[in-house]
Structure 1
């Protein structure tokens, strides 16, 4: 790897690190935000989902924007927009401003992730590309997993507002590195941006999420709720039709005719819905009900990070040797068992006996799942389609988390207590176990290549 390649890889990692860190750091800050700004559970849901709505619905069209306007330009705009939105989040005088700022952050995040991966794909080739993508994946995964601990430290010792200021330094460093790179942008010709698809995607996700979150305030009989839900479902149906007939769709539906790609994305939706739901519940419950400091609530899931860092590469190698099916089956089911173990938690749980064992089981389950899941999905399609395949899978995981968080009110009620927490744990465990069952039924291991038998030799007894 030469100096220019190292610089590009560093830029790609830092840009994505910002988006993934912000997506996970927020959970431990939610109780502190509500204490200062008010609003209860619905405010907590909106602070999470406002970000995921724009991120999940625009991450696909962002790939086309990179092709039309240039990857470096889009990356720079995403960084600046994300940074300004982060400052607005930190200074928000009320919950409404914070929620709008989080939506703007999601737009910036949608520009960052595809663009950062695209500059890796255009810079590296062959084994070097696989290694670069592996490093990018490792760092972004570490950001997502370590976020709760970092957020807890800021909330307890500084302020929840400074959780958003975490982004300032990596954004500034990335912009400086882009200036040093001085790379001329490459723009594709003949690429059309699917603006109608993007608008339909935002409406198809945003309106149902609004209905699910606000039904506790308005009631299901309110026109505000049932019209939002109905129009959102129609918009999403039209979005799917648009992607089927568009000349240059941002989500080529033909990819879903590939068995492992389709089944893998169904498993992704179930597993990542569980991750978002379980992560939200555990971080908030440990603080609001159990009385843990934010730092300790973040530390509670640190074993997941340690297990992932120690075993991810080994699991990836084993999955490459034996195929992804066994790992995608056993991993989610083991993670579900971990959440079932947490049902022993009461209002004042002992961490060492009632929390840690479940977290460790979940950590092993997650580590066994992630690398094989990615390998099964991207390995099932042509390498030329790996960029859009990765973007679709990323969007599926974000949308799954968005919907799961929006349904919190239906699962736990208007406030989080022990019984609501237990219902949430059961739903989380069920989603994970279903993810394993779907993988067991639908995933197929790649056929092993049989070496040719030299002439004059027997193939076997």
Structure 2
């Protein structure tokens, strides 16, 4: 069993960093009450972690290739553990958000190196087994996040969703030092710091602008100015990448319509399938009176369906064109969100969401595996690591931007649902911040307008998510084309290089 210790070390890190994307979801109402934070603060607690992952994945992979993957992985574990401790001890929302950003930096260092470490540790059949287990762990992390978060929050307090990382990190560090050998790329190039800075600035400014939309308005000078600044940062990123000798992201990859479609598909998949779960959790706990564990269980159908379908999709969809499997998955994701919008009315409970959550999960499981294969199949083997890293970046960025956009729509929907209820200004903000309980405690007459407000807000987020899914499906179907002389939707060279390139998807 000693030969599987490197797999254990890598899987522990991957599980922790991916669980922390979703584990916070069910703890948000308790955080809001304990730290007296508003809706924007809750959004940032979720968003800043995904932003840090998105912004630093490619750069962390390049650094690991240059100075050593084990070294960067261990450094990521140390940063992640220290930041987790700081998050659990945070005394205010500002500190919590800042430490969540640091936690995301550690997560990026871990995520960018896991597959490369496995690739160097195993060969042949063992390598296939290792990557199969690693993929299963990734899927299990998404399913386990809300449940683990609910159990810890309900029985020990929300701070334990961060403290639990400490023993896991300690174990991962010990196993890594004991069993994982160092590896690096002898041909690694320099680190693209200007690219990292401009991309991070652009993503951060745009996300900030979208989170502030509920307060500033879509057409305000502040919103338009921030979006313009974000666009300028992204333009600077493009110029940097075009002129540097060793770009973090080779923009020539975007000459391929298939690569463009895959990046757009990854971004829209995350935004459509996962970004609204934060607002569903707020509704379940603050308006429906559920505890964190119950709220976590409501979200399990999506994660479980995605896990099960992705496990069998490779066999059932083997040889199917990528444009159909990815596009079909995105179509189901969009349909699942629209089904939730159609079924949820004021006064309905959590059961109205289950069919749509299952349909969305099926779509996620159907689209995710071929997304990675298509991303790397469009490039030469030497660029596979960059392509895989770009896809992971797009997915994390899609989650971050999706939370921001849907948050603005959710709060606007709450305000619309309160029309005619006679409630004072600021009620929508209070509901969005998890404060429905105190209104409901005032008397049974509040139940009607609270439920109407949440139904309106959630329907708006579901409709927007549905549109994102459908747009993603359309982009994929229109842009991904079969290679000449093959029935597949990726170049023929991918068939001969899939095994090796997949192993470096996050390197």
Structures share fold, TM-score greater than 0.5: yes
Out of 454, 472, 475, the position equivalent to 1:435 is: 472
Residues 40-96 of structure 1: per-residue CA shift (max 9 Å, x gap) = 210111101111222211111001110222111111111010101001111111101
Q: Which range is displaced more, 316-325 or 87-96?
A: 316-325
Question: Structure 2: how far apart are the matches of 1:230 and 1:289?
Answer: 37
Distance 1:309 1:178, change over 3 A: same
Question: Structure 1: how far apart are the matches of 2:259 and 2:407?
Answer: 32
The reply on whether 1:84 has 2:82 as its aligned counterpart is yes
Aligned equivalent of 2:348: 349
Distance 1:313 1:187, change over 3 A: closer
Aligned equivalent of 1:423: 460
Distance 1:321 1:186, change over 3 A: closer
Q: Is the 8 A contact 1:276 1:401 kept in 2?
A: yes
Aligned equivalent of 1:203: 201
Distance 1:420 1:306, change over 3 A: closer
The reply on whether 1:45 has 2:53 as its aligned counterpart is no
Question: Structure 1: how far apart are the matches of 2:339 and 2:185?
Answer: 52
Q: Which range is displaced more, 342-351 or 420-429?
A: 342-351
Shift of residue 125, structure 1, vs aligned partner: 4.3
Q: Is the 8 A contact 2:81 2:166 kept in 1?
A: yes
Shift of residue 434, structure 1, vs aligned partner: 1.6
Q: Is the 8 A contact 2:321 2:487 kept in 1?
A: no
Aligned equivalent of 1:454: none
Unaligned stretches of 5+ residues in structure 1: 451-461
Q: Is the 8 A contact 2:150 2:295 kept in 1?
A: yes
Unaligned stretches of 5+ residues in structure 2: 413-427, 433-453, 493-507
Pairing 1:378-457 to 2, within 5 Å after superposition: 378-412=376-410, 413=412, 415=429, 416=432, 417-445=454-482, 447-448=486-487
Distance 1:421 1:182, change over 3 A: closer
Shift of residue 160, structure 1, vs aligned partner: 0.8
Shift of residue 219, structure 1, vs aligned partner: 5.6
Q: Is the 8 A contact 1:290 1:347 kept in 2?
A: no
Shift of residue 20, structure 1, vs aligned partner: 0.5
Shift of residue 182, structure 1, vs aligned partner: 6.2
Aligned equivalent of 2:115: 117
Aligned equivalent of 1:17: 15
Question: Structure 1: how far apart are the matches of 2:391 and 2:67?
Answer: 23
Shift of residue 324, structure 1, vs aligned partner: 2.4
Count of residue correspondences: 447
Question: Structure 2: how far apart are the matches of 1:407 and 1:225?
Answer: 13
Question: Structure 2: how far apart are the matches of 1:215 and 1:321?
Answer: 44
Shift of residue 361, structure 1, vs aligned partner: 1.7
Out of 337, 355, 358, the position equivalent to 2:356 is: 358
Q: Is the 8 A contact 1:315 1:368 kept in 2?
A: yes
Q: Is the 8 A contact 2:19 2:142 kept in 1?
A: yes
Pairing 1:265-414 to 2, within 5 Å after superposition: 265-343=263-341, 344-352=343-351, 354-412=352-410, 413=412
Aligned equivalent of 1:60: 58
Matched residue SS, 2:113: helix
Shift of residue 227, structure 1, vs aligned partner: 4.2
Question: Structure 2: how far apart are the matches of 1:129 and 1:122?
Answer: 9
Aligned equivalent of 2:131: 133
Question: Structure 2: how far apart are the matches of 1:135 and 1:392?
Answer: 23
Give the TM-score of the pair, scaled to structure 2: 0.83
Shift of residue 291, structure 1, vs aligned partner: 2.4
Question: Structure 2: how far apart are the matches of 1:277 and 1:182?
Answer: 35
Matched residue SS, 1:301: helix
Shift of residue 202, structure 1, vs aligned partner: 1.4
Q: Is the 8 A contact 1:13 1:136 kept in 2?
A: yes
Distance 1:222 1:324, change over 3 A: closer
Matched residue SS, 1:444: coil
Residues 382-426 of structure 1: per-residue CA shift (max 9 Å, x gap) = 333222111110000111111111223431235443211110010
Question: Structure 1: how far apart are the matches of 2:455 and 2:470?
Answer: 22
Q: Is the 8 A contact 1:278 1:425 kept in 2?
A: yes
Aligned equivalent of 2:238: 240
Q: Which range is displaced more, 283-292 or 139-148?
A: 283-292
Out of 147, 160, 177, the position equivalent to 2:175 is: 177
Question: Structure 2: how far apart are the matches of 1:263 and 1:182?
Answer: 36
Give the TM-score of the pair, scaled to structure 1: 0.90
Distance 1:289 1:144, change over 3 A: same
Distance 1:309 1:273, change over 3 A: closer
Aligned equivalent of 2:442: none
Aligned equivalent of 1:147: 145
